[in-house]
Chain A
């Protein structure tokens, strides 16, 4: 069965510093996709970045990059040059190639300090 684990309930980072949010996953599928979503205090879910299981290069989207280590089954999100507006909940998610549903981890709350 597929599973997403985020072990950091909360993280603090100084403005302009980089921060890594951890995510490990479990699946028996060879084909799957990994996602990160951001949920600000307003509540909406915002897509940040995607990594496919067959992608050899780590995904990047602006200040976001995904550190994909397939053998370790980890998909950590790296946010560079943190901004105050990055304070939010961050969710790691996975979708199996043969399945229909995307499952989410418990989330990490990020606090950016000025």
Chain B
């Protein structure tokens, strides 16, 4: 039973390029969350998606960042025109529901480095 799959594990981009991070939730999970973690800091919520819908994007920067979870295929976090400040670990998580007791199942993260 595969867990949450994220790829790539490491991504290096030059300033101004685009970064695409992919996440396949656990089988049977229709709720996907993206978090960003800076070194020695906690996880900051970015966006919550269900299939074909963005439900809560209150933590996502208004510019350059977008997320999608299409009917078929993985969820994608897209960062356009990356800057050095985008360097961070990006974690995807999924859950089977949205109750207060729903724990999150995390992927291994994507470490984005912007040169």
User: In the complex, how many residue pairs between chain A and chain B have their CB atoms under 8 Å apart?
Assistant: 65
- Please give, as numbers and ranges, the residues of chain A lying within 8 Å of B55 by CB-CB distance: 100
Q: How large is the interface on A (under 10, 10 to 19, 20 to 34, 35 or more residues)?
A: 20 to 34
- Across the interface, name the chain A residue whose C-beta is closest to B44: A104
B104 an interface residue at 8 Å Cβ cutoff?
Answer: yes
Fill in one digit per residue for A41-73: 1 if any B CB lies within 8 Å of its CB, else 0: 001110100101100000000000000000000
Check A52 against B41 for contact (C-beta < 8 Å): no
Measured CB to CB, the closest approach of chain B to A42, in angstroms, equals 8
Q: How far is the CA of A45 from the CA of B3 in the complex (A)?
A: 12
Please name all residues of chain A whose beta carbon is closer than 8 Å to the beta carbon of B56 when the two chains form the complex: 100-101
Interface residues in chain A, defined as those with a beta carbon under 8 Å from any beta carbon in chain B: 4, 6, 31-33, 35, 37, 43-45, 47, 50, 52-53, 91, 95-97, 100-107, 109
Please give the residue numbers on chain B whose beta carbons come within 8 Å of chain A beta carbons, in ascending order: 31, 33, 35, 40-45, 48, 55-56, 58-59, 89, 91, 93, 98-106, 108-109
